[in-house]
Structure 1
């Protein structure tokens, strides 16, 4: 728009493919190997080779299969005694930043709605289902982090991912915040399952009120992103105050109580509070995006 011309070098079709080679012995045990594989994925490597002079250990093979089951895109394309090869088969043209962030939004809404039913009906099976959905948020968050790292290293990715570097940064932050919100929904469901006695009707109703306020703040913040509405982002930040106040009231009601269930309920209140405050963080990132657009 300002008349500048940006020149980028000619890139051959396969020149942007990044490869990483690991020695099987250096990968160590299952946990260390899995961390290294996720790290390579997040940093934007498209092809991963694991080699060994002898046979590849059981721990490393298990880590590879767990890795490909956990993240989006990579698949095992070569499996032999001395070598394992993993290649990313995903298409970024179909998995843009916006697609991933919107998908996370839908999952969180479904988790929140199911959690509310689980609390009201003390349905522990539904609570378990809520916890299962959290894994999908982790997968999408890693994908967005991977996309951002590729965006930073390859200027041509701005067109493929349909975003700018600045907007990509804020969407990555929103993705990370959504993953944290999912963790706290998971934590509430976990503590609901761990209670020795079901919540009383009053306590369930009080928690539901605080949860709904936090959920509303989150929903407003995400709608402000999708609708590019700065006024709604500011309203969402104000709405967080109501959720914080409701959580504070619940915390004060526990001041004279003791016992294991009291502690678990306190954890549930704390996670509800975190969801509200994370929603405020999303609104701040949305405002950053909209200010930059204008």
Structure 2
């Protein structure tokens, strides 16, 4: 093909483009949607070649038309959604150009998402790329990490209440932000594992039921973050109010909090090792403890005279009780998971057994 001159044209406010020679397009059988590779070919030269699909599969690009978004909160949620479902490239485009406040919001949401960065930015285009490997870390490690962060939040809150030291609450909200990062990363892993068997195996997922169960578990752990943030605000309000509850009342509230922390640790352990007996015991204990917490709330309501302190303490206890009941739900998931394979209490057999064989099995088991 003879050298041909092409005029550079402008698309939008800042994008420049050139058309491809028809003769070359037909020769390489290039069609709409194909990808080409652009490489520097020497001084002031650009070499373009057609990519062969068997050697390269371009990542899907999620294009978000920012101009069509009217709500101030929708852009952030669309970015999070695109990240969660596994898009490696997220293309934000605006013919009118991005407003400063829009870029502020984009940068805020990037702080919540592990591995998502701006790799290209112009007046009309912002290209986000996820550099996070969805197959790492394993789901068990991610869940344990999220648990430890939520544990740390409540532990600091209880220390602040016990030592009457508001400064211990400074890191609680920051830890909540870190929890959000882990949460969105796990959601991305789970949704990617649904369609990618390789990722699913790398994450240690034994069945698709695990994906459903883990989705519920991380959602519950995210709820714990909100409970802890609410408890933190309540403790801060009491300390700033300056009226310290009596020693017995304070001790009872802290005792409930410590029980929640212990139960949370035991529940996550039961889930990850599929300990049916331990999970069942946790459920029984939580049901019993919930009744005890109701009695404690009633007593505190009758002995604390200051209305601000009373309201704050009752709200704190209510949030702690909710956290405890959330652990009950995770323990139930642990039991469900334990029934998916043979163990001390369960035997999984394939095929259909006759009534006679079943009677023989029952007879042997009763001896």
CA contact (8 A) 2:245 2:309 kept: no
- C-alpha distance in 2 between matches for 1:16 and 1:218: 43
What SS does the corresponding residue of 1:49 show, helix, strand or coil?
A: strand
Following superposition, the deviation at residue 99 of structure 1 comes to: 2.0
Query: What SS does structure 2 have at the residue aligned with 1:292?
Result: coil
Q: Is the contact made by 2:134 and 2:188 (CA closer than 8 Å) also made in structure 1?
A: no
Q: Answer with 257-266 or 19-28: which moved more.
A: 257-266
Q: Is the 8 A contact 2:183 2:218 kept in 1?
A: yes
Residue 279 of structure 1 is matched in structure 2 by 327
What is the match of residue 195 of structure 2? 153
User: In the alignment, which of 161, 184, 204 is matched to residue 142 of structure 1?
Assistant: 184
Flag the structure with larger Rg.
Answer: 2
- Residue 178 of structure 1 corresponds to 221
Pairwise CA RMSD of aligned residues? 2.1
What is aligned with 1:208?
A: 254
The Cα shift of 1:273 comes to: 0.2
TM-score (norm. length: structure 2): 0.72
Match of 1:108 among 126, 132, 150: 150
Aligned residue for 2:197, secondary structure, equals: coil
Q: Distance in 1 between matches of 2:177 and 2:209?
A: 28
Q: 1:254 to 1:58 in 2, by over 3 A?
A: same
Query: Residue 140 of structure 1: CA displacement?
Result: 1.4
Task: Give the Cα separation in 2 of the matches to 1:12 and 1:260.
Answer: 68
Is the alpha carbon distance of 1:170 and 1:227 closer, same or farther for their aligned partners in structure 2, counting shifts above 3 Å? same
**Alignment match, 2:338:** 290
Q: Is the 8 A contact 1:210 1:246 kept in 2?
A: no
Aligned twin of 2:299:
253
Which residue of structure 2 lines up, in the alignment, with residue 7 of structure 1? none
Residue 239 of structure 1 corresponds to: 285
Native 8 Å contact 2:173 2:229 kept in 1: yes
**Is the contact between residue 63 and residue 92 of structure 2 (CA under 8 Å) also seen in structure 1?**
yes
2:81 is equivalent to residue 39 of structure 1: yes
Which residue of structure 2 lines up, in the alignment, with residue 225 of structure 1? 271
TM-score, structure 1 normalization: 0.89
Q: Deviations over 1:210-264 (max 9, x none)?
A: 1122222212111112332111111111221343133212221244456222211
Number of aligned positions between the proteins: 284
1:189 Cα deviation after fit: 1.2
**Structure with the largest fraction of helix:** 1
Q: Which residue of 2 aligns with 1:193?
A: 236
Per chain length, whose mean CA-contact separation is higher, i.e. which structure has more relative contact order (CA < 8 Å, sep 6+)? Answer: 1
Secondary structure (helix, strand or coil) at the match of 1:156 reads helix
User: Which consecutive residues of structure 2, in runs of 5 or more, have no partner in the other structure?
Assistant: 1-52, 343-367
State the distance in 1 between where 2:259 and 2:299 align: 18
Q: After superposition, what is the alpha-carbon deviation per residue over 1:111-166, rounded to whole angstroms, capped at 9, x for unaligned?
A: 23222211111111112322221112122122222222222233333223221321
